[in-house]
Amino acid sequence: MNQINRAAIVGGSHGNELIGVYLVKKFQKYPHLIKRANFETLSLLGNPKAIAARRRYIDRDLNRCFTENNLTTDITSSYEELRAKEIQQILRPQNQEFVDVIIDLHTTTANMGLCIILGNMHPLLLGLAANISAINPLVKVYSHQQPRNSGFLRSLSELGFAIEVGAVAQGVLSAELFKQTEQLVYAVLDYFEECNQGKIPPTHNTLTLYQSIGAVDYPRNEDGEIQAMIHPQLQFRDYEPLHPGEPIFLTFEDEEIFYEGESTVYPIFINEAAYYEKGIAMYLSQKEVIHTI
Amino acid sequence: MNQINRAAIVGGSHGNELIGVYLVKKFQKYPHLIKRANFETLSLLGNPKAIAARRRYIDRDLNRCFTENNLTTDITSSYEELRAKEIQQILRPQNQEFVDVIIDLHTTTANMGLCIILGNMHPLLLGLAANISAINPLVKVYSHQQPRNSGFLRSLSELGFAIEVGAVAQGVLSAELFKQTEQLVYAVLDYFEECNQGKIPPTHNTLTLYQSIGAVDYPRNEDGEIQAMIHPQLQFRDYEPLHPGEPIFLTFEDEEIFYEGESTVYPIFINEAAYYEKGIAMYLSQKEVIHTI
């Protein structure tokens, strides 16, 4: 069993995702809230300049800057590349394991509720996800396999994962989601505390997992300009089944565009504001029930 | 009776309010949609650089730059001040009346539905508002008296007004609200067409008006940092009565803050993302029924 010695909570990797920003400010003001009997927890604001500017980022997306290339080069051309190195020095000094767990707090304009995003299938993370989602049925678990070099902040630790909550607009605080996210963070810390104590948490041997199978872009013209919007029938329907032949987009001329896949999928991150520029209208996932024990 | 010779539709005065941006692009592609028998309509993107950057503005809020001071000075220190002068030259060349009507399209993260915002009580605007809100009960009318020098784009014309739709996140297209806004624009143009034809539109002699009586800021500490969020019970409750003693904010420590006014008010623009930096958590209004004929 892994022993957790240090956990890190990061908020505001994206400066306009305010729930993480204000949760971390709260944890820094009241550190006892994230203190647990048998490990330390540090908390950190990811992108202070972007937070001050109320923007996702200044030069480029910080949460894509944690690549081997960027972290090892001496040349840094952007604020976020520099900031990624600083964060690495805090969370993984001299490129050595220092924090055992990273919880990266995000919000989304998609209706993802309370979502744990796993970048790998480490048994401890699967156990955590099974436990937390059994306690709180509002919690969903999304798996998006990420290689070490994918650039995500959470990839600095093997036990790194994101908490993604929504729907909430960029630059806005939702009190309801703030409270729910706070409770979810405490539940995660409690789980690790119990693991360290050797108490095996109550057995939950099944876990419903939304497994990413790829992204879908908006229909675009030759200039890259989008030609359609998320269909009203799909808007806010994250995690719900999308069957072949059902509408997914509506053009500006009011024509429906249908999903042409061959099997039922479960869209995630539907209409996330920050993904328009990334060429992502939604991710598609498969819903799987897996056995964790 | 005023004769309307030219109307202007502006979208994207704020670059991350996408419904106006894509409606104007549609109107520019299909100009017949906004053509009417007895007047011309031109359409215009307000802030192209901010639209490209997916931000509200580059240097400062364009929709506060249409002040006498800025429009008459030779010194321009920001992109938006320059752009305001360009827009004035298009809509009001040599500071002479050229377009008779300005429709400025906006979106908000507040739950304002389809809202017509009037900056003055011109009888033709009141008649328009009464007519449109009678035809479509989803349409609300908010009056925020603005002096000529207040800096709003719509103040370039006596018959200038805004259409404000929400709730929609910044940087996001809502297909449902896109369609509803489009139909609202057509209804406005149809109304002016009928006015020009001397057809007095169907009589609607009462109009429900939400009259602004001031703004409320978030509780803040000495450093200007916000200390509380919009209370969950108030979130998305625009236009609904707020009675003395009801909760309006929730601190990060989960303490409720109550409305201490002496009379019932109707909050508007609750939790608008762009207003955090302006020191506005919401506007308060009085609900009035006025007679327009």
Q: What is the mean pLDDT of residues B182-205?
A: 87
Residue B25, chain A, CB below 8 Å: the answer is: yes
- pLDDT for the residue B66: 92
**CA gap A14, A54 in Å, rounded:** 9
DSSP line for chain A: -PPP-EEEEEE-SSTT-HHHHHHHHHHHH-GGGG-BTTBEEEEEES-HHHHHHTSS-SSS-GGG-B-HHHHH-S---SHHHHHHHHHHHHHSGGG----SEEEEEEE-SS--EEEEEESS--HHHHHHHHHHHHH-TTEEEEE----TTSB-GGGGSTEEEEEEEES--TT---HHHHHHHHHHHHHHHHHHHHHHTTPPP----EEEEEEEEEEEPPPB-TTS-B-EEE-TTTTT-TTS-B-TT-EEEEETTS-EEE---SS-BEEESTT-GGGTTTT-SEEEEEEEEEE--
List chain A residues with CB under 8 Å of B276: 54, 171
Query: CB–CB of B252 and A277 under 8 A?
Result: no
- pLDDT > 80? residue A76: no
The tens digit of pLDDT for each residue in A218-255 reads: 999 999 999 999 999 999 999 999 999 999 999 999 99
Q: What amino acid positions of A are annotated as catalytic residues?
A: 164
- Does residue A207 surpass a pLDDT of 60? yes
Q: Do A175 and B231 touch (CB under 8 A)?
A: yes
Q: CA of A178, closest CA in chain B: separation in Å? A: 9
Q: Tell me what pLDDT residue A146 has.
A: 74
Whole-number pLDDT of residue A95: 83
Which of A97-111, B134-148, B267-281 has the weakest average pLDDT? B134-148
Q: What is the mean pLDDT of residues A28-43?
A: 96
Residues B238 and B110: beta-carbon distance below 8 Å: yes
* Separation CA B43–CA B66 (nearest Å): 18
Strands A282-291 and A266-268, bridge-based pairing: antiparallel
Q: Is the pLDDT of residue B200 over 80?
A: no
Task: Say whether A229 and B274 touch across the interface (CB within 8 A).
Answer: no
Check B235 against A276: CB less than 8 A apart. no
The two structure tokens encoding residue A137: 């049925």
β-pairing verdict for A256-258 and A247-251: antiparallel
pLDDT of B24 strictly over 70: yes
pLDDT band at B293 (very low <50, low <70, confident <90, very high): low
Domains detected in chain A: 6-204 (3.40.630.10), 215-279 (2.20.25.160)
- Pick out the residues of the known binding site of A for Zn(2+): 14, 17, 106
Q: Are B125 and B144 in contact (CB under 8 A)?
A: no
Q: Does B169 touch chain A (CB under 8 A)?
A: yes
Sorted by sequence, the CB contacts under 8 Å of residue A222 that are 6+ apart come out as: none
For range B242-264, the mean pLDDT: 97
Residue B291's pLDDT band, with cuts at 50, 70 and 90, is confident
Point out the residue among B172, B175, B252 whose CB comes nearest to the CB of A250. Answer: B175
Calculate helix-pair angle for B175-196, B18-29, nearest 10 degrees: 60
Answer whether residue A1 shows pLDDT above 60: no
Residue B177 has pLDDT above 80, yes or no: yes
* Contact call for residues B83 and B240 (beta carbons, < 8 A): no
For the residues B115-129, what does the mean pLDDT come to? Answer: 93
Pairing mode, strands A206-216 and A282-291: antiparallel
Encode pLDDT of A183-193 as tens digits. 999 999 999 99
Nearest CA in chain A to B226: A22
What is residue A130's predicted lDDT score, i.e. its pLDDT?
A: 93
What is the arithmetic mean of pLDDT over B51-77? 91
User: B64 pLDDT band (50/70/90 cuts)?
Assistant: very high
pLDDT band for position B68 (cuts 50, 70, 90) = confident
Say yes or no: ipTM exceeds 0.90: yes
User: Quick check: A22 contacting B, CB < 8 Å?
Assistant: yes
Residue B1 above 90 pLDDT?
no
- Which among A262, A254, A256 has a CA at the least distance from the CA of A284? A262
CB spacing of A174 vs B235 below 8 angstroms? yes
